[in-house]
Structure 1
């Protein structure tokens, strides 16, 4: 699935964030993109994304991870087969794994474990 993103939609979530359709506000869209900020000073990332997300294509997370690697980081990236937005469609075990990975990531980054 490619997601519901439409760069010309003046009422989409992105347009609400940018103050207009992304196609009409390319500079604002670029500034709002995490990929734009994936430089040497970027924080650690754990990226968990469902492959069937209908709102945000999983390829956006792959692109972010690639940009972070190019900047010298080692982001955690896990694509979850069949997962839609908000983990809809995942097994309870996959959802629990996401939660555990998130807690472990936070603990490691804050010195809590």
Structure 2
């Protein structure tokens, strides 16, 4: 599920609550929802976690999702049974330096 679908499905006020929960303004969340801006790796992780991983990291930032996958940082997808037990262990955030994600292939270059 993407962020727009999540907000639509959860009704009026869900965007404001989500923005507050992850520590961003409602305007910034709106810009992410409409695709005008991309969340940082950290914010993408916070959004995914705050939604119980109903909004996937892949839908928020497919570029970093691929880096996570290549580095083995993604252990598993959201459980098929819909359970969110231990869901916080599903994604390990990358090292973020100066607003950019450092991947193994860019180190030492």
TM-score range, shorter chain: 0.3 to 0.5
TM-score scaled by structure 2? 0.34
Greater strand share, structure number: 1
Larger Rg: 1
TM-score scaled by structure 1? 0.34
